[in-house]
């Protein structure tokens, strides 16, 4: 008895653009293009922007709170160029992470240093595609990675005193092919053939809201009252 075996071939057509990646120049952040400072007198616009009533405007990021560290991450999004700076948590969540990180310079206040510098750093969008870019900065007590810090921000937890967050001005760039080094400019002082890089001197990192002492005291009293009620029952 003969068996007829029919093999059905399945061909998956995957476009190169779906997985294509471009390169940007992540070798250095010139202090002529980007610097950062804290502003402890005003809460981040993402949380209302109200004055806190304390602190010093313009304290450089590297000197805040006795040397607290700061991290920065390059984010990107599509849409019209240039995109506005994120003004709400919802707007922030529409930006994606490139995976490119920086920190405050350990020796020079207000300056930034890239992590894992690479003149041909790969980013998730393909060569020939223009995307918006922005650098988000946050204090180390929110987390050592952008994923950790973003989780804290979006979950609405109570922030510890001395928590800061801020954004540079936005820019946009068309990446080079992955075989091209150096990659397209991320920071600069004017438009070029690839787009308009980030230029953001004295970038403000704003304070994040913390509970007032009276609020904390009331919360403590409420918890104590609940405990007493349970014991009586």
Q: 44 near 87, Cβ under 8 Å?
A: no
Instruction: Give the pLDDT score at 92.
Output: 95
Q: Which domain holds residue 216?
A: 22-232
Residue 11 lies in a domain: no
Residue 81 lies in a domain: yes
At 15-55, the pLDDT tens digits run: 233 457 999 999 999 999 999 998 888 999 998 888 887 77
Residue 2 lies in a domain: no
Residue 1 lies in a domain: no
Residue 204 lies in a domain: yes
Residue 7 lies in a domain: no
Instruction: Give the pLDDT score at 213.
Output: 57
Number of domains in the chain: 1
Does the pTM surpass 0.85? The reply is no
**Who wins on pLDDT, 134 or 155?**
134
How would residue 231 be classed by pLDDT, with cut points 50, 70 and 90? low
Whole-angstrom distance, CA of residue 117 vs CA of residue 155: 31
Residue 184 lies in a domain: yes
Residue 211 lies in a domain: yes
At 68-127, the pLDDT tens digits run: 689 999 999 999 999 999 999 999 999 999 999 999 987 788 999 999 999 999 999 999
Instruction: Give the pLDDT score at 162.
Output: 87
Task: Report the Cα–Cα distance between both ends of the chain, in Å, rounded.
Answer: 81
At 136-184, the pLDDT tens digits run: 999 999 999 999 999 999 987 789 888 999 999 999 999 999 888 899 9
Instruction: Give the pLDDT score at 91.
Output: 95
Quickly list DSSP for the chain.
------PPP------HHHH--EEEEES---TTTEEEEEEEEEE-GGGT--B-S-S-EEEEGGGGGGT--EEEEEEEE-SSSSPPPP-SHHHHHTSEEEEEEEEE-SSSTT-EEESS-EEEEEESS-TT-EEEEEEEEEEGGG-SSHHHHHHHHHTTPPPPTT-EEEE---EEEEPEETT-SS-EESB-SS-BTTEE-B-EEEEEEEEPP---HHHHHHHHHHHHHHHHHHHH-
């Amino acid at each position: 008895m003969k068996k007829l075996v029919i093999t059905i071939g399945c061909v998956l057509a995957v476009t190169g653009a779906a997985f294509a990646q471009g390169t940007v120049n992540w070798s250095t952040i010139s202090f002529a293009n980007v610097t950062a400072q804290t502003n402890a007198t005003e809460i981040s616009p993402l949380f209302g922007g109200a004055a806190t009533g304390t602190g010093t405007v313009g304290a450089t990021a590297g000197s805040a709170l006795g040397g607290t560290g700061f991290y920065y991450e390059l984010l990107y999004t599509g849409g019209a160029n240039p995109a506005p700076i994120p003004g709400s948590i919802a707007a922030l969540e529409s930006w994606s992470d490139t995976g490119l990180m920086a920190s405050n310079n350990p020796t020079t206040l207000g300056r930034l240093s890239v992590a894992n510098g690479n003149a041909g750093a790969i980013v998730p969008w393909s060569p020939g595609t223009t995307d918006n870019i922005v650098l988000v900065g946050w204090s180390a007590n929110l987390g050592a990675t952008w994923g950790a810090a973003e989780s804290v921000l979006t979950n609405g937890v109570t922030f510890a005193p001395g928590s800061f967050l801020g954004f540079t001005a936005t820019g946009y760039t068309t990446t080079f092919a992955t075989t091209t080094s150096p990659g397209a400019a991320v920071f600069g002082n004017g438009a070029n053939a690839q787009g308009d890089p980030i230029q953001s001197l004295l970038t403000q990192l704003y304070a994040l809201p913390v509970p007032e002492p009276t609020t904390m005291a009331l919360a403590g009293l409420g918890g104590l009252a609940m405990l007493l009620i349970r014991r009586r029952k």
